[in-house]
Amino acid sequence: MHGPRWRVVLLAGPSGHRSAGDRCVAPKRRCAVNDQLTVEAVRRRIAEVRAEIAQLTDRSVRIVGVTKTHLDDVVVAALQAGLVDLGENYAQDLRARAGAAPILATGVAPRWHFIGQLQSNKVRLIAGDVWCWQTVDRSSIIAEIARRDPGARIMVQVDLAGIPGRGGCRIAEVSGLVGEAGRAGLAVIGLMAVGVPGPPELSRTGFAQVVRTAEDLGLAERSIGMSGDYRVAVEEGSTMVRLGSLLFGDRRVGGASSQ
C-alpha cells in the first residue's frame, strides 16, 4: 500500500515565476518561513553563516537551528536545507516535533538539542527524543536525566548574567556538576552559556571564561553564541552556535504545540 502523495508547491519569485526548490512534505502547504523564506533561502543563509565563521576561525563550528515557536514548515525547510541539528526550548514542543508527520516524512532524522530551562518533571516526556541536553545546571536534573535517559549526552549551562530565572550555574559550580554527571554515567561533552543583555562585546569576557573552563576540564564543546552575538562567541572559541532569527526570520507566537 502506497503512502499519501504530497503536493509539491513552490513559491513564486520576484519575477512571478515559480522558482526551483525542494519539495514540500505537507499536502497543500508551502515550504516557507514567514510566507517568504524558501528552502533555498534557508540554505543560502546557512552557507553565508558558514562562510563568515570560516573567516573568523579554522575551527569546526556546529550550527544549531533554533526552531522554537516556529511552524513545522520551518523544521521541514531546515532539514531539506541540510541542517539536522535543531534546538527547542519547550519540552511539549520538542515532543510534538518528534512525532510530527511532515517532519517524519522528510526521511531526515533531526538531532534535537534541548536548550530551554529544564524541569525535572519534563525530562521523562522527551527522554527518548533529545540528542543533547544543553541546559543542565543542578544536581536534581542530573539525577533525573541519568534515570530517564541513561548515558545521555549533556552540557552544563553556565550563568553569565546573574539574572534570576534565566538558568545556569555559577562558574565555580561547573567542575562539581561535571564530575557529578560523569559519576552518574552521563556523557558530559561541554559547556553552554547565554550571553549577557546588551551589545555583543559585553559577552566577550564571559564567553572567554566559558571556553577556558571547558578547556581546563577537558571538554571539547562550547555552545556559546546566538544570532546577535555569534561572531564574538566564535572569536572567543565557540564550537557550537544556536541561531534562530538569523536563519529563519521572526518567530511565530504560539509554538509547535499550538499549531
Residue 12: inside a domain, yes or no?
A: no
In a domain, 172, yes or no: yes
Residue 88 backbone phi and psi in degrees, to 5 = -125, 145
Total of domains in the chain: 1
Q: Find, among 65, 81, 60, the residue nearest to 227 by Cα.
A: 65
Summarised one tens digit per residue, pLDDT across range 49-95 is 999 999 999 999 999 999 998 999 999 999 999 999 999 999 999 99
Domain contains 13: no
Residues 210, 220 contacting (CB under 8 angstroms):
no
Q: Mean pLDDT across the chain, nearest whole number?
A: 86
Contact call for residues 217 and 175 (beta carbons, < 8 A)? yes
Please check the confidence at residue 259 and state whether its pLDDT lies above 70. no
| Contact call for residues 26 and 76 (beta carbons, < 8 A) | yes
What pLDDT, in 10s, does the model give residues 99-111? Answer: 999 999 999 999 9
Q: How many CB atoms lie within 10 A of CB 44?
A: 13
At residue 38, the pLDDT reads 85
Tens digit of pLDDT for each residue in 127-141? 999 999 999 999 999
46-59 confidence digits (pLDDT tens): 999 999 999 999 99
What integer is the mean pLDDT of 226-234? 98
For residue 146, give the H/E element and its range: helix 139-148
- Does any domain span residue 8? no
pLDDT computed for residue 251 by the predictor: 67
Asked whether residue 28 is assigned to any structural domain, the reply reads: no
Can you give the pLDDT at residue 123? 98
pLDDT of residue 252 exceeding 90, the answer is no
Query: Which CATH number does the domain housing residue 200 bear?
Result: 3.20.20.10
State the pLDDT at residue 37: 63
- The range of the structural domain enclosing residue 188 comes to 34-251
pTM (2 decimals)?
0.84
Provide the pLDDT for residue 11.
Answer: 33
